[in-house]
A and B are shown apart, each in its own frame.
Chain A
Amino acid sequence: MAKTIFEKHSPDRKGYTLPANDIDITLEKCIPEKFQRKEEVKLPEVSELDVMRHFLELSHMNHCIEKGFYPLGSCTMKYNPKINETLVRNDGFNNLHPFQDEDTVQGALEILYELQKDLAEISGFTNVTLQPVAGAHGEFTGLKIMKAYHDHKGNSHKKKIILPDSAHGTNPASVTLVGYEMVEIKSNEKGLVDIEDLKAHVNDETAGFMLTNPNTLGLFESQVEEIAEIIHSVDGLMYMDGANFNAIMGLVKPGENGFDIMHFNLHKTFATPHGGGGPGAGPIGVREDLIKFLPAPLIGKKDDKYFLDYTHEKTSFGKVHSFFGNFAVNIKAYIYLKMLGPKGLRRVAENAVINANYIQKKLEKYYDIPFKDSFCMHEFVASGNWQKEKYGIKTLDIAKRILDKGYHAPTIYFPLIVHEAMMIEPTETESKETLDEFINAMIEIAKECEENPELLKNAPLNTPVKRVDDTLAVRQLNVKFEW
């Protein structure tokens, strides 16, 4: 294992240069003694080379898209074009301050305005706020909009949000965060929303319904219109979790098919890199009568001039970010959309769907695929059931063995409604050869389960560290280095 940076500390070593202070005032004159720090900050003292070597050493212990395939379901780990990174690092973007006058940021506002417009167009909504900075942040924003809508109508009895048992964990957590109550309904034997169970739970208290479409099993919720009718009949609103929008871009517009509110994950669908956990962006699209509840400002345009539009501020539910959201992430999504164009957009979805179905088909003899009778969309869920029953191999073991083969593992044990789940999403950027190699590796692993189960139980063997003990981490909590 790599030493920590603190173990590389050498007193008085420096990793920076700064100009001499040309002001002759002492700190003591500026800050009263009482408010001066008593104990010095303990930060490592290392050279720039020490720093580069240290972080390079760390980087070598990570998997990443450029290193290998990332079949991580619901995460859409596609390749992120390098041009995005080059262009976003323009001084004219990096060094803009959010309190600058509108006249001095016209280029920035134009990008944001265009992105609002393009996202609205491809999703079938009327306008979009770019303020939320992550998918879950978007969910929070969307539910606050829902609440504002009901408050506005005096629907104070509306307290419940219905969602299916296949929902992402962020959905129920967001429901709680806005102060609504979650009602979970069942999926049917086809993996879709159980309409009868939905009907049994819908009533006057229903504020709305959250649905991921395609859902987390990779299946298109074909009854979405019927669901919308049921929800709208009690004046509830339909929220679409857009985590899986990659599957339907250019094919279907959710805003035209029953949904009222939707979030986008720019760090999934729109090729802004995941960054090991962010920064992403989670813009929200809404139908026309909900625009007045969006966080202010939106970006407006009048006579060729772009401006921060606060006109709806009085009816807005409020703000979710210090400023205007993740501007630098939004630029990357803008570039990506401009480079795809209308045909490219559709092509992305098509190839994402073909790639997923291809793997599903090729693996159906080797793994239990509960919903294989239906074509999947951009991802599918396999199960390690057979391996568990026959050889006592858990999905966790299979996942760890996949790491040994040079791939990231699929999303495992999710969705919760499939036992021993492995959720596989290849994305459109992967080639047939890569998929074939991955398929072969999966088949090999299925054989290893039979022939050498110990190998799987001890996996991974070829990774920078062996299987990590996460229960020990909780038992002997160690969250900072003592030095």
Chain B
Amino acid sequence: MPFISNTDKERKEMLAAIGVERFEDLLINIPKKFLLNKDCCLDEPYSELEITRKISELATNNISTSHANSFLGGGIYDHFIPAAVDHIILRPEFHSAYTPYQAEVSQGTLQYIYEYQTMICELTGMEISNAGMYDGASAAAEAILMATRKTKNFKAIIAGTLNPNYLEVIKSYTEGVGIELVLIPAKNGLVDLNGLKEAVDDNTGCVLLQTPNFFGNIEDAFAIEEIVHAYKKALFIACVDPISLAVMNSPAEYKADIVVGEGQSLGNSQNYGGPLFGFLASSIKLGRGMPGRIVGATLDADGKRAYCLTLQAREQHIRRAKATSNICSNEALCNLAATVYMTLMGKEGLKEIAVQSTTKAHYLADEINKLDGFSLAFDAAFFKEFAVKTPVPVEEIISGLREKNIFPGIDLKQFGYKNTLLIAVTEKKRKCDLDELVNALQEVING
């Protein structure tokens, strides 16, 4: 039997030592009628060779973005991942270890989380980071819970330029727990500042802003901060792309109180949307109300530096119903990939990636803008992603370009924007890849 060590002979010896004859004797506490009298209806077992063959066949039924010219983004980005990342996360000591509750045999995990927290604080300008959340969406949702819990103001305002998938998850987390969500609509691809100004008041617990926003546009976080902090209690939550932080304002520069975001871009594959990981950081005074694990440096009995999970009195295994969140397992190995990635890239590498992504995106936007019938959907400044108005429905473009294995971007019709295509660019694109999309779009128009 695969992956089971004991033989039938050993089983017998063990049953005898326990004092029973048959395995079934151990099941006396299970009502007889519960016990299945036939096998579950599953495929007969595959050998390692057979499953390898089967999986390879299934994989060939997919077209991966490495065999296509893909401009898909919307929260998940195809950034380059150095080979060393995977070599490290595959180390069994990281890969098959449990959550580091037993600090003395988990220093490896604890130290990399501490280093991860340090790097997230560097990127965001915050003072404390947790060890990670499920994804950007759940991090945003939990940040709202954290802010409203702290301020005891249960009105949460959300800039309508937020990734719509995040909004859906936020609704799941905030519905039924007394939080009033107020959505400020988008205007020309940015949140409507007047609308925001009208909505924020003394009862506001927090304002959540994504920048660059779902359309890739850069919001005026400075102006928004002033609107939010005009009210004493309201907290400002920024949702950011970590790659952008190498060249764009750290959220501390515009005085965000809590910072969240999707971390996948940092050394994790797209993996059809999972696993991802969310990051969550804040000022130290809000840190004690954070969800999730936090690692702290301390000393061992010999007075040497050591690490352990800290501020655990916030967590479910201690506080149960009064915990700040129910989160237990997070996406630790994805955080490790991010830590290794940021370490390899260093400050120059991360900046280079941000610069290449944004300059290439701007070149592409300029070129598409020149095409007859195409135009930029918004005139706001943008980072590595932008929306264009198309002369024909986007689905026609997507299916037209399929044959050439070009994935031109996301059809925003599903989010209420007709004839609008959202295009993302990373450093992986060469000029020829960008030109290929431009030419292909031209051909679609020419019919």
Contact = CB atoms under 8 A, between A and B. Distances in A.
A337 B42 contact: yes
Interface residues of A, number: 197
Contacts of A341: 42-46
A274 interface: yes
Interface in A454-483: 458, 460, 463-470, 472-474, 476-481
A16 to B, nearest CB: 4
A24 to B, nearest CB: 8
A340 to B, nearest CB: 6
Nearest to A106: B61
Interface in B265-279: 269-277
Interface in B328-382: 328-334, 336, 340, 342-353, 355-356, 358-363, 381-382
Given A23-B363, A70-B98, A278-B331, A473 B91 contact: no
Contact of B168 (A32, A104, A319): A319
Interface string B255-286: 00000001000000111111111000000100
B195 to A, nearest CB: 21
A467 B399 CA distance: 61
A34 interface: yes
A361 interface: yes
Nearest to A26: B359
A66 B93 CA distance: 8
Contact of A136 (B14, B19, B329): B329
Contacts of A358: 14, 17-18
Contact of B109 (A77, A248, A267, A277): A277
Contact of A134 (B20, B55, B328, B340): B328
Contacts of B115: 4-6, 481
A63 B399 CA distance: 50
Given A358-B14, A481-B114, A27 B359 contact: yes
A323 B311 contact: no
Q: Which of B92, B127, B311 has the most CB of A within 10 A?
A: B92
Contacts of A422: none
A344 B2 contact: yes
Contacts of B437: none
B102 A409 contact: yes
A269 B399 CA distance: 41
Contacts, number: 688
Q: Which of A219, A428, A465 has the most CB of B within 10 A?
A: A465
B447 interface: no
Contact of A44 (B68, B86, B302, B343): B343
Interface stretch (A48-56, A195-203, A230-238, A283-291): A48-56
B35 A251 contact: yes
A51 B437 CA distance: 37
A321 B139 CA distance: 10
A19 B357 CA distance: 12
Interface stretch (B196-204, B225-233, B242-250): B242-250
Interface stretch (A169-177, A384-392, A443-451): A169-177
A374 to B, nearest CB: 6
A251 to B, nearest CB: 6
A13 B35 CA distance: 63
A38 to B, nearest CB: 6
A96 B166 contact: no
A4 B343 CA distance: 11
Contacts of A441: none
B439 interface: no
A318 B172 contact: yes
A41 B298 contact: no
A41 B100 contact: no
25 contacts: A37-B250, A41-B122, A51-B88, A56-B91, A61-B107, A62-B97, A62-B107, A81-B2, A87-B52, A87-B55, A98-B76, A101-B398, A105-B62, A136-B326, A170-B317, A276-B94, A279-B275, A279-B334, A343-B1, A354-B23, A361-B19, A375-B25, A408-B102, A468-B299, A481-B114
Closest 10 CB pairs of A and B: A323-B273, A92-B59, A341-B45, A98-B273, A107-B61, A277-B332, A275-B333, A431-B5, A279-B275, A173-B326
Given A18-B356, A99-B76, 7 more contacts: A14-B346, A21-B359, A61-B111, A251-B30, A319-B169, A353-B23, A464-B105
